[in-house]
Amino acid sequence: MTNPFDLSGRVAVVTGANTGIGQAIAVALAAAGADVACVGRTPAEETVAKIVALGRRAQIVSADLSTIAPIGQVVDETLSRLGRLDILVNNAGIIRRADAVDFTEADWDAVIDTNLKSVFFLSQAAGRHMIAQGKGRIINIASMLTFQGGIRVPSYTASKAGVGGLTKLLANEWARHGVTVNAIAPGYIATNNTAALQADAARNTAILDRIPAARWGAPEDLGGAAVFLASDAAAYVQGHILAVDGGWLAR
């Protein structure tokens, strides 16, 4: 019986793959059989070493996704170095914190450009290739703030709400071409982006009190969801936002 979760022979692009959630997803895809192009501003040597140790191929693709300028390069380098492009994981993102009354235009634009604009245009570039080959998987990284408002992160909240809507729009347009577009919404995951929350004793306690699993998530907790959405097991899953949150939304 064929394993529907087997990704052997496929090539994935993972943005922001040098650490945290991006690294964990890249390694999980490799463990399921995929070769991986690791994209980011910071070279992902550690991620590449983990992937190679699993017997898969990995390539570093240096690109600063705060602008859309390198997007064509990401697709072209992946195809030239790894020969295919079957899976795209839009993970790269930034966050800026300030009260809404004090939030600056610069912080607004920086987050929207990285978290939403680049996600769309990289999906567009990969989607053109996937439509032409008749199959592909796009996985966006959403957030609890795709569903909720949060506090002190107006541009991040707007960007992640946008990612949720964009996921559904692209699924509507591309499903007929054999391309699935879905998202993972991580709960409170212990990464660099959440370091400030973890360090704030009152916020940390409030967060843990609401999570039924009674712990912060680890980046590795997202690996299985990514493998599922990248695989043939999810061939009929479209426009879905899969929460991996320890039960946060159930409260």
- Residues serving a catalytic function are 156
Q: Is the CB of residue 34 less than 8 Å from the CB of residue 87? A: yes
Q: How far is CA 158 from the centre of its chain?
A: 16
120 φ, ψ (degrees, to nearest 5): -65, -50
* Alpha-carbon gap, residue 232 to 178, rounded angstroms: 11
Local structure of 247: helix, strand or coil: coil
What SS3 state is found at 173?
A: helix
- Cβ-in-10-Å burial (0-12, 13-18, 19+) of 209 comes to exposed
Taking the alpha carbons of 60, 136, 34, 23 in that order, is the dihedral positive or negative? positive
